[in-house]
Amino acid sequence: MFGGFLASIIEVEKLTHLIEELKVGTFSTSAVEVKSNWLRIPHERKSRYLIPYGLAEETLKTFVEEYYRMVAESAITFIAAVVDKVHMVEDYGEDAYYPPALAYEFVLQRVEMEAARQNWFVHVTIDNTTGKTPRQTEYRTNLLRQHKNLRKNGSRFVKIRYDHILPGLSFADSAISPMIQVADIAAYNVFRQFRDHWEAWEIDSESLDLYPYLGRLIDRFCQSERGVVAGWGIVKFPTRTRKDWGRPK
């Protein structure tokens, strides 16, 4: 899966400043990496936040509440795409497209549509990815090549060109980038939504039970004029039923 957000430079600077102030007020330094799984898992929370900074659980809880409030009240637009590997093989066989490449393209499609709507030109920054694909291609090399091809040739699946996406990619270290950390919390919460409530997505309903922390951010996800998030701000591919929910319950 891929997840991230779209925002103006002004909004990025504003939210970065607010988050750094919150970190200093809680940890006495802004050099603290916020990761959802570290905050959720007790031993990670203890070893990465509570002991190093001498915090009580209640203080860290207050930090998390305020952090989510700041993000939820910001003017950023989250977008995420999830590709079901099992359903891909069922529908397209063993020669199905590489899922991360599909997820990246689906995210970029939504970024292009939103950027065109707002008349923005977007530079894409991604977490500093390491490792290799199953074909032993470096992830970063793969992404750079895919990004270049999409800008040159447009989508392989729908009639869309990426005219509002600027050339090249930037890579940033999540340990020192507050905005990569914001993208991470959205991506992680979408991941937990599908891990914990996968079957709910495949039920044709006007509402959806949400992973609680995703529920706090859901209004910041891209959505249609009718308030529909599925297929707009959160894309699941391939689908098994028509999904049409607006504000989740």
161: in domain: yes
Q: pLDDT digit of tens for each residue in the chain (249 aa)? A: 889 999 999 999 999 999 999 999 999 999 999 999 999 999 999 999 999 999 999 999 999 999 999 999 999 999 999 988 877 777 777 777 788 888 999 999 999 999 999 999 999 999 987 655 555 457 788 889 999 999 999 998 889 999 999 998 999 999 999 999 999 999 999 999 988 887 667 665 566 788 999 999 999 999 988 888 888 899 988 877 644 434 333
pTM: 0.88
Query: Please, which residues have CB within 8 angstroms of residue 186's CB and are 6 or more apart in sequence?
Result: 3, 4, 5, 78, 80, 217, 220, 221
7: number of Cβ within 10 Å: 20
d(C-alpha 128, C-alpha 49), whole Å: 23
The pLDDT tens digits for 136-180 are 457 788 889 999 999 999 998 889 999 999 998 999 999 999 999
Looking at the structure of the chain, the number of domains it has is 1
Is residue 35 included in any domain, yes or no? no
Rounded (to 5) percent helix, strand, coil in the chain: 50, 15, 35
Query: Where are any strands of DSSP class E within 60-157?
Result: 77-83, 122-127
Say if 197 falls within a structural domain.
Answer: yes
What was the pLDDT predicted at 134?
52
The residue segments making up the domain with residue 204 are: 2-8+74-237
**Within a domain: 55:** no
52 occurs within a structural domain: no
* Within-domain flag for 199: yes
Whether 109 is in a domain gets the answer yes
